[in-house]
Structure 1
Amino acid sequence: MQSIKVADYYNHRPVTFKADMSIESAVEKLLQSCQTGGPVVDDLGTVIGFVSEQDCLQQMLNSTYQNEAHCVIGDVMTKEPLCVTPEHSVMTLAENMKIDKPKMYPVCDEQGKLMGVITRAHILLALDKHLHDNYAPGKRFV
């Protein structure tokens, strides 16, 4: 099971954000993509943060109460997101996701460049596929 790698299951084309993007624009992207969050990247594609629906929701509530709507992603993003590599173990990531950890992780190369994202749904798919492959009818165990 440890040999199941993130590389085989992550989303190669996630929705991304820029630090100077308005919260309102980010919310529109999230709603259109059905993603619950996403990596914030610089002009070179390096992950510099992560923004979630929860981050946006909190800021939009604050803006509503204050009747003011000028805030950008850089103001609310998590500045040191937890990234994984394509070689990371799906099992290890599944263990991390059981606890109060992110539901989505950026997948990055060694230089921190974004390659994609992996979510709990991707992890469930990997585990489900592995279980079905191991317990397929006619499969013999030695």
Structure 2
Amino acid sequence: MESIKIADYMSKRPVIFTANMPIAQAVELFLQAGQIGGPVVDENKHVIGFISEQDCLIKMLEATYLNENHYTVGDVMHSEPLTARPEGSVFDLAQIMTSAKPKIFPVIDENDQLIGIITRSDVLRAIDDQLRAMYKQGHERLV
């Protein structure tokens, strides 16, 4: 499984956010894309944070109680998120995902610019594909 690369399973067109984006706009993007979290980038596509549906939900509830809606993504994003590299191993990332909370990792290139994301579902699909291929190969040897 070491040979399975993140680049082969990452999403190359993730929903991205900016720090000055209103939370309400971020929520709309989440709902349209069906993505549960995403990277926050600066004008050079460098990842500066991460925001999740849960982060938005907390602020939306707070805004409802206070009758205010002035929060931005920058107010609630998590700074310094964990990232992955496209040449990285899916297997190594899977091991990190078993103990770390992130369900989504921004994937960055050699210039630290965002090029995609990889989710737990993507990692599960990669491992499942590998196991199916191994099973098929083993089954063919027996026949």
CA distance in 2, matches of 1:40, 1:26: 10
Q: Name the TM-score, length of structure 2 as normaliser.
A: 0.94
Q: Name the TM-score, length of structure 1 as normaliser.
A: 0.95
Superposition deviation, residue 5 in structure 1: 1.0
Superposition deviation, residue 97 in structure 1: 1.2
CA distance in 1, matches of 2:130, 2:45: 32
Superposition deviation, residue 100 in structure 1: 4.0
CA RMSD of aligned residues (A): 1.3
Structure 1 SS opposite 2:45: coil
Q: 1:127 corresponds to which residue?
A: 127
Structure having the higher helix fraction is 2
Could you list the structure 1 runs, at least 4 aligned residues long, displaced by more than 2 angstroms after superposition.
137-141
Please state if 1:69 is matched with 2:45.
no
How many percent identity over aligned positions?
Answer: 53
> Unaligned 5+ residue runs, structure 2?
none
| Post-superposition CA distance 1:91-111 (Å, at most 9, x none) | 111111122420000000122
Q: 1:30 corresponds to which residue?
A: 30
Aligned length: 141
CA distance in 2, matches of 1:134, 1:100: 28
> Unaligned 5+ residue runs, structure 1?
none
CA distance in 2, matches of 1:29, 1:7: 24
What is the letter of the counterpart of residue 132 of structure 1? R
